Amino acid sequence: MTVPDDMTKQITGIILAGGKSSRMGEDKAFIPCSGKALIEILIDKLSALFEDLLIVTNKPDLYQKYGIEARPDLLKDIPGGADLYHTLAQAFLRRYEPQMA
């Protein structure tokens, strides 16, 4: 399936990287796979589809080196079910916050 170019300009690709790593013991985003960290593979794949990317994470500082805006988790203490809500809220704020000021 091919997505028209003008459509991808209107859509933000979002990477959810807000887990606490409690079961894994380490941050899954930085686990190597075929010589690259998983987050790098995701960024490469999503960059081919979307002009605009956003990372939602509990640790924004760890993602600065990738040159993609990383916003904090809005609902840090609520497990999985809140992921979609806070991700959509962050994407909305990122796009419209400057206009609301």
Q: What is the pLDDT of residue 44?
A: 94
Q: What is the pLDDT of residue 82?
A: 62
Q: What is the pLDDT of residue 43?
A: 96
Q: What is the pLDDT of residue 16?
A: 84
Q: What is the pLDDT of residue 26?
A: 79
CATH of the domain at 9: 3.90.550.10
Query: What is the span of the domain harbouring residue 29?
Result: 5-100
- As for how many domains the chain has, the answer is 1
**Can you list the residues of the chain whose pLDDT is less than 50?**
1
Q: What is the pLDDT of residue 94?
A: 75
Q: What is the pLDDT of residue 98?
A: 65
Q: What is the pLDDT of residue 100?
A: 59
Transcribe 5-54 into DSSP letters: HHHHTT-EEEEEE----TTTSS-GGG-EETTEEHHHHHHHHHHTT-SEEE
